[in-house]
Amino acid sequence: MSNPHTETVDKYLEAIYYIAAEGEVVRPSRLAYWLSVSAPTVSDALVRMKRDGWIDIGSDRSVSLTESGEHTAASLVRHHRVLERWLTNVLHFDWATADIEADRISSAISDAVIDQIDASMGSPPTCPHGNAIPGRTATYGILVALADLEPGTSATVRRISEVAEHDAPALLSMLAEHRISEGTDVMVVKSDVGPNEVAITVGGVAFTLSLEAAQRIWVEAA
């Protein structure tokens, strides 16, 4: 039986959930970078979380959630993503601001309130960035990274990686500035950009993205 979780435990559980959901192996060094804390701080926290039944630590130091840890992490992520959807759909915040505000208030809102907010919106399958709300399945088809499309290919933006949201928060603001959101049609174009850039057009307006950002934007090809 896991012990009652603290705010610190919650932050670690969410980080592990998000990183693992993107297919990455979760390691202490990755958590230190994600949470902006020192390696010894992470090591001490992981020892306590393993003792309390939240995580398992492999022989290669990889970190995974136990059943209890997964359940709690999914609940935390559900709070955040439902609030993001409410802040954008109902209160009309841009998605970068919604992400920040949801992070501030999610821990203060009960499951009962989240359930009511969720139901009032018709139980959407994803957050505004296209990431599935835990317990639901996103409705889009096969996705590919925007960076992998050939010039001249049209596609529809479906998902922004949670890792990209965290590692490059300016990406959300930049996408909002160019009116790119879930469901936006884009086209990769030929351009004299550098090897680490991708040129796209949105509504006839051309601009470039870093290759790293384009690798974290998932699209459904037309």
Higher-confidence residue of 139 and 167: namely 139
Which residues have CB under 8 Å from 108's CB, separation 6+?
none
**Is pLDDT above 80 for 193?**
no
Amino acid at 191: S
CA distance 184 to 174: 14
User: What is the model's pLDDT at position 222?
Assistant: 80
Domain with CATH 2.30.30.90 in the chain: 144-221
Angle at 134 between CA 128 and CA 137, to 5 degrees: 75
Give residue-wise pLDDT tens across range 46-99: 999 999 999 999 999 999 999 999 999 999 999 999 999 999 999 999 877 888
User: What is the model's pLDDT at position 168?
Assistant: 66
Give residue-wise pLDDT tens across range 100-110: 899 899 989 99
Architecture label for domain 144-221: Roll (2.30)
As a whole number, mean pLDDT of residues 163-190 equals 80
Lookup result for tokens 């970078």? 33
Supply the CATH classification number for the domain 7-65.
1.10.10.10
Cβ-count burial of 155 within 10 angstroms (0-12 exposed, 13-18 middle, 19+ buried)? buried
As a whole number, mean pLDDT of residues 149-163 equals 89
- Put residue 113 in one of left, alpha, beta given phi > 0 → left and psi -120 to 50 → alpha: alpha
Domain with CATH 1.10.10.10 in the chain: 7-65
User: What is the model's pLDDT at position 148?
Assistant: 92
Banded model confidence at residue 3, pLDDT cuts 50, 70, 90: low
User: What is the model's pLDDT at position 1?
Assistant: 47
HSE-CB at 163 with a 13 A cutoff on CA atoms is 20
As a whole number, mean pLDDT of residues 15-36 equals 94
User: What is the model's pLDDT at position 195?
Assistant: 81
